[in-house]
Structure 1
């Protein structure tokens, strides 16, 4: 006789229906992989984006404040190194607030915020247009992790890509290198302005991803609701707990969702048994030394690399020319 745990694992996965979108196929295969994983881009539906905006206000979550400190203290120097900016392209723009703070110093003629959360992005663009009537705002609802496709009416000259918040740390090193190279190819006479979180003690890092108010836990658990909406799966949020830990060997924070009990999750075309304590890997956040990240930029083909840090040396902003 099969034990309950063996019965949970016994049923083979089904095949996904024909005609599925790329995102549904990505979720399907990620949930069936071992270990299971979900790309962190799926954290950012409308509610997830709002929760992340709240997380940036938490005392434990230092990156946003450190980056803002750098922009405020060194904005003029950043603008001088950037040179003339025709188009500012904001990768993972969210509420557009970070880029907006740079408008007075960078003085772009056009702003292109890009984000997977289309509704959230459109609301941010509607807020910006009356406040900056001289600035052409062109939001792009796009999953740029699958490659970036820019409309032909966006001028190719003097593009500055803006990738704040250390989101580059969500990518493994090979994927980060590939993305940096791809962006460089899209701005041949422009550059990249990018935020990078730095290596620091575990006692600083882990609370930033596992705060006392449990906002980050809500952010991570909301991912399951988003997956249910996209995949028609039957995740029950109460069956899972948020886990965040620092993997010092790989110099990264890891976020996981851990099953509280043995359970099975089903969706059209597939299902997966999880044992109690089994995890779904939902995010990495790699941390860098300045020398290591400069080396990554140079391997990607960038030149004239400069960086600025906050007073504690917890965060860096790099500007590199293509």
Structure 2
């Protein structure tokens, strides 16, 4: 079905209407991040049909030390409007934005069930990159462990950041996600920004110790478990299971909604661990990228 689709740059007067639209497409825990995006008023385009919002496109461009001038494209479109007419109209605007801003590298994503969006990306030169699985805990009871832990503090930065970089290096290298080592390859500016960001999140970050030796960390944001890792030399010793079981029990004690986490589909070891303690995959999001040859 052909529809008359119009693309408009976001205006503040549409703030409430966009929030109503986004509430149908995002998790409540993500709403604050989208509100911050709207406050910037830059790189936001509305997909309109008969004066109704049927989609929103967020374009965020940054300078990446490894990729050059990058663009992250975040599309939220009512599924009934997933068709070539809508995408062709939208991408005329996006391609002009890419040209005007001299973008070198584009990334975007789509849930696996959105087949029309997937085919459109592939047909227009985007390559499949990696997949991210959302896993939700089934609510089963888990053992309680007497673990030594405390909140992150600023003096922990070097220890925490090195451990994070070491733990995620194999995955980032295999998936070609730059920088491969977020610590060792970080510029002084990037490291300083990361340090400042972590300090703001310290009350949600938990560091674990065994006889004063640092063994790993996790961030617990309401029902979400994030940035979980075990220091390389302590992997394979059962600490990962204990930290995950601790995290599930802790989160269940704080919120009523199901506990969840995300994992890169490539990481079979992590997926097997999560499944063994009661996590089940509920959705898969595919990421795509396109490198602009100039």
TM-score range, shorter-chain basis? under 0.3
Structure with greater strand share of residues = 2
State TM-score, norm by structure 2: 0.26
